C-alpha cells in the first residue's frame, strides 16, 4: 500500500482540522477551496478512510482523522525543526524572553525543547514576572520578546473604587492593542468541586498582586454585581492560587485552560458575573528585529496553535 503523506497535504489537512472549513483552510494556505477539497479527497483515497464528517457548517474529524492529526502534528513539527536548522545553520547568540508564570509550565517546555534541538547555539534567557513589569522591561529594551495576557480594550474600564496599580491602564491599553494574538480563552470563576467557598459571605478570593488585570476585572465584576468579598489569598504564583482554591479556601478568576477535574466553574446561575475573554499576545521590542527573534516567534506561535 503506497501512502502519500507529503508535507503539503499534511499542512492542508492540519489547516482544515484547525479551521473546520475547507474555505478558511484555503485562505490560510493561500489556495482555493476547490484545491483544498481535491487535496483532502486524494489524502482520504490514499489512506482508504474518511478523515472528516460534516456537522452543520463545520467539518469535524473522524476517529481516523484524529489519529492522523496526532501523527501529522509530530511530522510537521519535525519538518519545521529541520527546515529551521538548515535555513539558519549559522545562527548564534541569545534571546531574552519574558513570560507570565501561567504559561511557563503549559507551553514553554514545548517551545524550548524544539527550539533547543534546532538551534543548540542560541541561549534563551527567561524572565517570569507580572505582565505590567514584563511590558515595561520590553519597552526599556531589557527583553526581546514577551508573552502578555490582555483583554479587549472595551473590557478595560475600571471603576474609581477598584485599585489596580499606579497608572496601569495606559500600559494595559498598549498591551491590548499591540503584539500578535497567539491565544484566546475565557476568564472564569473557579472553586473546588468539593468545597463551599463560593457560598460564603463575604466571598473569599484568591487573586494576584495589585496591578494584575485579572484581579482588577474580577473586583470590578463583583462590585457591579453587589457581591461582598474579602481577599484571603494574594500570590504572584498561579500554582499557589490554584492550591488555595483546591483546598476550598477561596474562589479565583483564572483562564479556562488552568482548570482540571478537581475544579468547577461558576457563572450567572450561581450568582457570579461573567468575565471578559483573555487574549495572550506576543510582543516584540522595537529593536529586536533579528533572525533569532523571528525563529523563536515561530516556535511560540506553533506551541499555542497546538494547545
Higher pLDDT, 256 or 160: 256
Rounded to the nearest integer, the mean pLDDT of the chain is 83
Assigned C-alpha cell, 73 = 502534528
- Whole-model pTM: value is 0.62
| pLDDT value at residue 9 | 92
Q: What are the φ/ψ torsions at residue 52 (nearest 5 degrees)?
A: -130, 150
Separation between Cα atoms, residue 261 and residue 264, nearest integer Å: 8
Binned at pLDDT 50, 70 and 90, residue 67 comes out as very high
| pLDDT value at residue 177 | 67
Q: Which of 80-94, 173-187, 223-237 has the highest mean pLDDT?
A: 223-237
Assigned C-alpha cell, 243 = 492550591
pLDDT (mean) for 202-227: 88
| Position 198 pLDDT exceeds 90 | yes
Higher pLDDT, 171 or 211: 211
pLDDT (mean) for 211-239: 88
- DSSP string computed for 238-272: HHHHHHHHHTTS-BEEEEGGG--TTEEEE-GGGTP
| pLDDT value at residue 106 | 66
Separation between Cα atoms, residue 88 and residue 295, nearest integer Å: 9
| Position 85 pLDDT exceeds 70 | no
Binned at pLDDT 50, 70 and 90, residue 232 comes out as very high
CA dihedral 63, 69, 74, 78 (to 10 degrees): 150
β-pair type (93-99, 145-150): parallel
pLDDT digits (tens, 9 = 90+) for 253-287: 998 888 889 999 999 999 999 988 888 889 999 88
| Position 113 pLDDT exceeds 80 | no
| pLDDT value at residue 273 | 93
| Position 168 pLDDT exceeds 50 | no
pLDDT digits (tens, 9 = 90+) for 31-52: 899 999 999 999 999 999 999 9
| Position 73 pLDDT exceeds 80 | yes
Binned at pLDDT 50, 70 and 90, residue 160 comes out as very low
The 10 Å Cβ neighbour count of residue 217 is: 23
Higher pLDDT, 306 or 299: 299
Assigned C-alpha cell, 65 = 482523522
| Position 154 pLDDT exceeds 70 | no
Percent of the chain surpassing pLDDT 90: 37
Phi/psi region, residue 271 (left: phi>0; alpha: psi -120 to 50; beta: rest), is left
| Position 56 pLDDT exceeds 80 | yes
| pLDDT value at residue 173 | 53
Amino acid at each position: 500500500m503506497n501512502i502519500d503523506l507529503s508535507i503539503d497535504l499534511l499542512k492542508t489537512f492540519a489547516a482544515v482540522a484547525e479551521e473546520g472549513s475547507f474555505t478558511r483552510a484555503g485562505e490560510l494556505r493561500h489556495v482555493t477551496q476547490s484545491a483544498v477539497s481535491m487535496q483532502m479527497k486524494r489524502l482520504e483515497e490514499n489512506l482508504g478512510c474518511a478523515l472528516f464528517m460534516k456537522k452543520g457548517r463545520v467539518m469535524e474529524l473522524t476517529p481516523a482523522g484524529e489519529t492522523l492529526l496526532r501523527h501529522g502534528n509530530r511530522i510537521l513539527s519535525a519538518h519545521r525543526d529541520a527546515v529551521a536548522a538548515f535555513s539558519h545553520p549559522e545562527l548564534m547568540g541569545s534571546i531574552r524572553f519574558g513570560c507570565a508564570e501561567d504559561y511557563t509550565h503549559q507551553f514553554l517546555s514545548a517551545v524550548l525543547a524544539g527550539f533547543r534541538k534546532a538551534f543548540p547555539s542560541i541561549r534563551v534567557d527567561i524572565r517570569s514576572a507580572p505582565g505590567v513589569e514584563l511590558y515595561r522591561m520590553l519597552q526599556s529594551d531589557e527583553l526581546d520578546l514577551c508573552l502578555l495576557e490582555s483583554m479587549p480594550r472595551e473590557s478595560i474600564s475600571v471603576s474609581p473604587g477598584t485599585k489596580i496599580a499606579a497608572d496601569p491602564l495606559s500600559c494595559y491599553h498598549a498591551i491590548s492593542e499591540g503584539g500578535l494574538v497567539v491565544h484566546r480563552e475565557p476568564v472564569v470563576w473557579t472553586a473546588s468541586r468539593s468545597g463551599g467557598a463560593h457560598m460564603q459571605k463575604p466571598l473569599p478570593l484568591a487573586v494576584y498582586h495589585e496591578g494584575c488585570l485579572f484581579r482588577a476585572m474580577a473586583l470590578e465584576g463583583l462590585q457591579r454585581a453587589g457581591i461582598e468579598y474579602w481577599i484571603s489569598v494574594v500570590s504572584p504564583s498561579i500554582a499557589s492560587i490554584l492550591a488555595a482554591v483546591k483546598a476550598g479556601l477561596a474562589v479565583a478568576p483564572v483562564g479556562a485552560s488552568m482548570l482540571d477535574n478537581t475544579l468547577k466553574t461558576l457563572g450567572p446561575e450561581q450568582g457570579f458575573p461573567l468575565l471578559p475573554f483573555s487574549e495572550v499576545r506576543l510582543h516584540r521590542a522595537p529593536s529586536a528585529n533579528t533572525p533569532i527573534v523571528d525563529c523563536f516567534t515561530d516556535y511560540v506561535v506553533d506551541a499555542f496553535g497546538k494547545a
